[in-house]
Amino acid sequence: EFEYERHGTQALIANFEVATGRVITPSIGDTRTEADFVAHIERTLDTDPLGEWIFIVDQLNTHQSASLVECIAQRCGIDSDLGGKGKTGILQSMASRAAFLQDPAHRIRFVYTPKHCSWLNQVEIWFGILTRRLLKRARFASTDELKQRLLEFIDFFNQTLAKPFRWTYIGKPLMA
């Protein structure tokens, strides 16, 4: 509409705990940068600093960043030389960083969905629920109101709707 006035956006980074169906440690802010993602991961890890973690993520560049590798190496007690970004070692390229982050020997590791297959990540199902139940046709007067309503919805979801998703695909090839 010609009267539509955009008041800004917010970036939501969320974790979906597959065992309980709850959304944990959501991060909402003005940007979705490498630093934002690392800060989100740090906040999540702080909930169980010595626990074993598996993060399922898409292939976004922030999910394979040098600062994320440094964070995970520090949290896992890996003090070997990581090399230099764009130069040598683990930090050399996105591929080498992703290989390090996927290492099953680490207590904190990342699993990357194939390109164009983020639908395999259950948090994407939850984002669909968020869109249908809160965002579609909604109006927010400010980014602060949007952030508050997002946090309220997450709290409501966790208290009343959270449950593990049941996969229904049985692995048979789809027929054309």
pLDDT in tens, the chain (176 residues): 556 666 689 999 999 999 999 999 999 999 999 999 999 999 999 999 999 999 999 999 999 999 999 999 999 999 999 999 999 999 999 999 999 999 999 999 999 999 888 778 899 999 999 999 999 999 999 999 999 999 999 999 999 999 999 877 777 776 66
In a domain, residue 107? The reply is yes
Domain range enclosing 72? 32-141
Kindly state whether residue 162 falls inside one of the protein's structural domains: no
Residues paired with 110 in a beta bridge: 55
7, part of any domain? no
SS3 63: helix
Q: For residue 2, tell me if it sits in a domain.
A: no
Residue 73 belongs to some domain of the structure: yes
pLDDT at residue 167, rounded to an integer: 76
Domain presence at residue 98 = yes
**CB of 22 closer than 8 Å to CB of 50:** no
Rounded Cα distance between 155 and 149, Å, is 10
pLDDT of residue 33: 96
Count of domains observed in the chain:
1
Closest to 40 measured CA to CA, from 61, 60, 62:
62
pTM of the model: 0.89
Nearest C-alpha neighbor of 147 from the set 29, 33, 43: 29
Residue 91 lies in a domain: yes
